[in-house]
Amino acid sequence: MLAVQCKMARAALGLGVRELAVAAEVSPETVVRLEQGENLRPRTLAAIRAALEAAGVEFIPENGGGAGVRLRRQPA
């Protein structure tokens, strides 16, 4: 997960830094550090990604058009 993907995911979900931090069980400062491009421990990064995925985000890998995110389609 890239820093920009975290920012995009939060924006798509309408989550603030503190809300994501609570969901991922990390400090708000950790989320800020990620979004500023700092390297985090793999397990910390995994916790943040898992929290965003649980909230309904899908991460789109680099595929020639750039990495991104989208909201998971809700079942009809």
Domain boundaries, the chain: 3-71
pLDDT at position 76 is: 61
Residue 72 per-residue DSSP state: P
Measured CA to CA, the distance from residue 76 to residue 74 in angstroms comes to 6
Predicted confidence (pLDDT) at residue 74 exceeds the cutoff of 80? no
Q: In angstroms, how far is the first alpha carbon of the chain from the final one?
A: 29
Predicted confidence (pLDDT) at residue 75 exceeds the cutoff of 70? no
Show the CA angle centred on residue 6, arms to residues 41 and 54, nearest 5°: 90
Report the DSSP beta bridge partners of residue 59: 69
CATH 1.10.260.40 at 3-71, yes or no = yes
pLDDT at position 62 is: 80
Question: 67 vs 19, 21, 53, 61, CA distance in Å?
Answer: 24, 23, 15, 5
pTM: predicted TM-score of the whole model, two decimal places: 0.89
pLDDT in tens, 20-68: 999 999 999 999 999 999 999 999 999 999 999 999 999 998 877 788 8
